Amino acid sequence: MTPHRRRLLLAAATTLALTGAGAGAAYADPPPDAPEQIENGDFSAGVSPWFSYGTDALTVTDGRLCTTVPGGLANPWDAGIGQDGVPLIAGAEYTLGFDISATPGTAVKAVLQLGSAPYTTYAAVDAAATGTAQRFEQTFTVPDDNPGAQLIFQVGGSAAAQTVCLDDVSLRGGEPPEPYVPDTGPRVRVNQVGYLPGGPKNATVVTEATQPLPWQLRSAAGAVLASGTTTARGVDEASGQNVQTLDFSSYRTPGSGLTLTVDGETSHPFDISGTLYNQLRSDSLQFFYAQRSGIAIDGDLIGDEYARPAGHLDVAPNQGDTNVPCQPGVCDYSLDVRGGWYDAGDHGKYVVNGGIATYQLLNTFERTKTAATAAGGAALADSTLRVPERGNAVPDILDEARWELEFLLRMQVPAGKPLAGMVHHKIHDRNWTGLPLAPEDDPQPRELHAPSTAATLNLAATAAQCARLYAPYDAAFAARCGTAAKTAYSAAKAHPAVYASPTDGTGGGAYDDSNVTDEFYWAAAELYLTTGAQTYLTDLTASPHHTADVFDSRGFGWQSVAALGRLDLATVPNGLPTADVTRIRASVTTAADAYLVELRRQAYGLPMPGDANSYFWGGNSNVINNAVVLATAFDLTRDVKYRDGAVQAMDYIFGRNALNISYVTGWGEHAAQNQHSRIFGHQLDPSMPRPPAGSIAGGPNAALQDPFVAKLLAGCEPMFCYVDDINSYSTNEVAINWNSALAWISSFLADQGDSGAVPATTCSVRYDNYGTWQGGTGFTAQLTIKNTGTTAVNGWSVRFAFTGDQRVREAWLAKVTQAGATVTAKNESHNAKIAPGGTVTFGFNATTSGGANPNPGLVTVNGGACSLG
């Protein structure tokens, strides 16, 4: 197909149909042993993996794939029905056959081609389709190898509207492919990025040996730095391999280009460094800028190869996101829903995926207010990331999250309309598009899909976060978020069981969820944390999730969000009774303990069970989310076993796995680089970029839910059910909610420095709030700092952060300044010294809008965390 497929002219409709094998002239069967290359060619499994463009939605009617094609399209290739991922072998013979009908009748061309520019044609079959189904076949020899060719039925170009139907589409021939054997490199599997000097250092060895083996750690020059003996682990459940493990944690000297040698094999090189993950924090977050919709991407920020015009702003061939109508029968209005992030490898935007991704970026920032190792958020401050808003006195991570928040707010049903205050579940193309396709070249009409309770509660939760976190930087935006959150929550309570349809998967994922009790709990928790209001407290404490175990062994995700509310209730300062807070925090550490048990049980050291059900679509993000729970347990307790568990869990992501691959682009000696994405289509079109550094692949999926891996990896052991190929969307796609997990843990890892011993606490702080004045718009507070160490403090600087828009008006007995929500108090000349056992006090008056005003959860003195009294 020519590049003109990207242009679509709409006129009167045409419908095409492909029908059963009984119609038309008789034809010879292909050789009985010839392999079939088309997936679901009889449509017995529904529409997938077929896609269309320039047509109405695809449907299966009486066993045939049918659609309506508009009349008046200028060219045959302006509308099409197709399938990607068709493997071809140069010099092999194939027979292409299909049944087709078209009413009232039109010419159709079936083209086997390269699926990207220059759209090289390998074979073509012309068919004069009429109202009666006919069989067409042609045998040909393919000139080129292509493991992922494209079959397209060009159905445009008719003056009249057509109904087209297909059936029994077959491409038989070619030699059966050689069994796929992945190149797994050296049998010694390590974190290819490296290890923190004071952190855990483990590796896995694939070997037939059943007795312990000697190992050596070598420098880049070959010198032996450490040695020891492995531990035999037997056959690993997830990989089916006989493995042994080794632990070289006692070696703590920084170095680069180190390797491990065991059983005659030498690992990929790695580093030991305390700055190992600093760049990953930035890289993992830059993915979101690269995925932005509705803005031109600036190559000066993230590289010239990623520069592109704004997508979906009504510039042809886009039909745009600024005035998007609903699917037929859903609503009678259009909305401006520009902006936001493209969800994954397609150009759709989904509220439930956007919700958890936004939460994790906001929570990454909010953690800087409560975690002792986060240095007050200095590494996420303004002008630290590659975003166009840098330099605006707002932390850059909040700038990035706001791009999605603005989109989420636009998805809310307007006042005066049915279901007002609810939120549309998603917006995406009317039909699936093929690979690759830059956002600005997408010709498909865009549609709003029906509102759902799940989407509405995702907005309620994230907008409530927004209301407290943006208040110190943009009071108007924070207030807008707060209003939207309350409106959405009320709308969800009024319509508690409006579910997204599981069959609404044409042109974009369904993202269906028929249990939203967890979304109600999460939203109530966030609204309570922001407002302190009794109504939300009543709802969250009444929820069965409030006292339930919300931490699944297989992690949390967009469809299971009770853990999000629990983690925030455990970490964000709030007014819950002390006993309740203690129980909530204990639930986090209990879950973390269980993840540590699993991590130690797994020979590849990940906090995830080893059965096939634990390797699913996007499972890499769930592995990381379990690491997030471990990291949060460390933030709460300062117990290094949890920090070490979180650090070690990431070894699996960066190469300590059966495939010996880092799942993060640009990170590791052998890293994924061909993730499924229409935007980053380099594998299919060399003029397009690969995914930017810091993009994570979904990872092994034992269900093999796309035709490419279903053929390639049939019978794979769970950890081997992955291929770094753009055609595998079920194992190798990118997604914002997977990268948000990576961004959260990357920020945590970077904050750990050399991961050394946790310093002892040498101070305690009592924070007294003496109540409000002026109708609740102000309050008075006092801090008393006690030196619990053994040496005198000579000069002190106290730091803490408010949860919302509280602002110090005046202070006494200290020089107090405030930046955003962070307050810094420095001693006066007369009270600079605090003797061991001594105390010092200062106080202040502050203004507030009247939301929640809990005592701070973290107070530091000269950078060291103090215990709170």
Report, as residue numbers or ranges, the catalytic residues.
Answer: 346, 676, 724, 733
**Angle between the N-to-C axes of helices 278-290 and 396-410, in degrees from 0 to 180, rounded to the nearest 10:** 30
Task: State the DSSP code for 494.
Answer: H
Cβ partners under 8 Å of residue 109, min gap 6: 76, 124, 125, 126, 127, 153, 154
Any alpha helices (H) in 532-577, and if so which ranges? 534-542, 562-571
Spatial distance between the Cα atoms of 629 and 213, rounded to a whole number of angstroms: 34
Cβ partners under 8 Å of residue 830, min gap 6: none
The answer to whether the beta carbons of residues 817 and 800 sit under 8 Å apart is: no
- Nearest-CA neighbor of 765 among 657, 677, 848, 839? 839
Dihedral pair phi/psi, residue 412, rounded to 5°? -80, 135
Spatial distance between the Cα atoms of 107 and 10, rounded to a whole number of angstroms: 18
Peptide bond into 854 cis (omega under 30): no
Q: Count CA within 13 A, CB hemisphere, residue 770.
A: 9
Q: Count CA within 13 A, CB hemisphere, residue 313.
A: 11
Using CB atoms within 10 Å of the CB of residue 639, give its burial: 0 to 12 exposed, 13 to 18 middle, 19+ buried.
Answer: middle
Spatial distance between the Cα atoms of 441 and 435, rounded to a whole number of angstroms: 12
The token duo for 355 is 């919700």
Using CB atoms within 10 Å of the CB of residue 248, give its burial: 0 to 12 exposed, 13 to 18 middle, 19+ buried.
Answer: buried
Spatial distance between the Cα atoms of 767 and 443, rounded to a whole number of angstroms: 59
Cβ partners under 8 Å of residue 594, min gap 6: 551, 553
Cβ partners under 8 Å of residue 306, min gap 6: 290, 297, 299, 689, 692
H and E: helices and strands count for the chain: 15, 40
Q: 157 vs 8, 109, 343, 722, CA distance in Å?
A: 11, 11, 33, 40
Cβ partners under 8 Å of residue 407, min gap 6: 293, 337, 338, 339, 340, 341, 349, 354
Dihedral pair phi/psi, residue 416, rounded to 5°? 90, -10
The token duo for 268 is 């990929």
3-state secondary structure 193-239: CEECCCCCCEEEEECCCCCCCEEEEECCCCCEEEEEECEEEEECCCC
| CB atoms inside a 10 Å sphere around CB 48 | 17
Spatial distance between the Cα atoms of 697 and 560, rounded to a whole number of angstroms: 20
Q: 509 vs 336, 425, 432, CA distance in Å?
A: 21, 11, 10
The answer to whether the beta carbons of residues 362 and 848 sit under 8 Å apart is: no
| Angle at 853 (CA atoms; ends 848, 857), nearest 5 degrees | 130
Cβ partners under 8 Å of residue 544, min gap 6: 517
Q: What element of type H or E holds 712?
A: helix 707-712
